[in-house]
Each structure stands twice: as C-alpha cells, then as structure tokens.
Copies of this chain bind each other. A is one copy, B any other.
Amino acid sequence: MPAELDKFDRRILAIVQRDARRSAEMIGTDIGLSASAVQRRMARLREDGVIVAEVALIDPHSVDQRLTVIADLEVERERPELLASLRQWIAAEPAIQQAWYVTGDSDYVLVVTARDVGDYDALMQRLVAANANVKRFRTRVALDTLKRSLAVPVNATPD
C-alpha cells in the first residue's frame, strides 16, 4: 500500500502534476528513461493510487464563477448522527470544492465557489436549512487568489 517511489517515480510525478499532457517520450528524455519505461511507471502509479486522477483545471471566471469564499462551519458536537448527513450534503454539492474537518473553534472549513454573493448566500441558506446541526458559520470572501493548485511537494531528488 505505501508504494515505494524511487527517484524516477518522483520526477515523473513532479512533471505530470504540472502538465499531464506531456508525452511519455518527452518525460523520458527529461529524466533519462525510455518512453515505455515512463509509461509502465505511470500505469503502476495509477494502479497503486499514487496518481488519483488526471483532470483539466478550468478558469472559474470563464464559467461565471467569480466568487471564492472560505466558510468556517461550527456544528453541534452533541449529535454525531447528523454529521454523516452533513458530510453527504457537502459531498453532493458541486459548489463546495474543498472541505476539511479541523481543530480549533470552528469545526469545518469549506472552500466554496459561486457566481456572486446572492448565489453564495442561497447556497448557505440551503446548507443551514438542510443541516440542523450547523450552529453558525463565518464567511470570508477571497478578494484575491494568490495560488490555486493541488500540487504536492514530491522531493524529486532524494537518491
């Protein structure tokens, strides 16, 4: 399960998590491996779940999603049976991009995308109406997005 990753695997990961369209041949010349060796490794990395998915990143503005909001949810800890349904609600809502259960006074942190404040407000009203255990939430509007990625440091030169 904790797949052993060597130097080559890590270099492949470093490349494809920036550009998944790059051909195996180009990656191979970059890292000093043949194209088929790169392909084999990528197949194994997918198989092992190291590469979870390959996705296109869309500019939110181009699809009229101009607003990003960080929402902190505070929930009633006394009703654990409602937590599962809150989690399902979050999972099913496309406007919620990311969600963590966190330490500190507010229990969940959400990253929400919306057309405008009205759209966001409607979403949060639906969230509160559908989840009785949400005590309150705090809204922080992103005035500027400095960085937006899910890339992870892979330490490409350990060997």
Residues of chain A whose beta carbon lies under 8 Å from any beta carbon of chain B: 2-3, 5, 10, 13, 16-21, 48-65, 68, 70, 87, 90-91, 94-104, 108-109, 111, 113, 138, 140-155
Contact = CB atoms under 8 A, between A and B. Distances in A.
Contacts of A94: 151, 153
Max chain B CB contacts within 10 Å: which of A59, A65, A87, A141?
A59
A38 to B, nearest CB: 13
This chain: how many copies in the complex? 2
Given A100-B142, A102-B70, A54 B21 contact: yes
Contacts of A150: 55, 57-58, 97, 148-150
Nearest to A102: B140
A16 B3 CA distance: 27
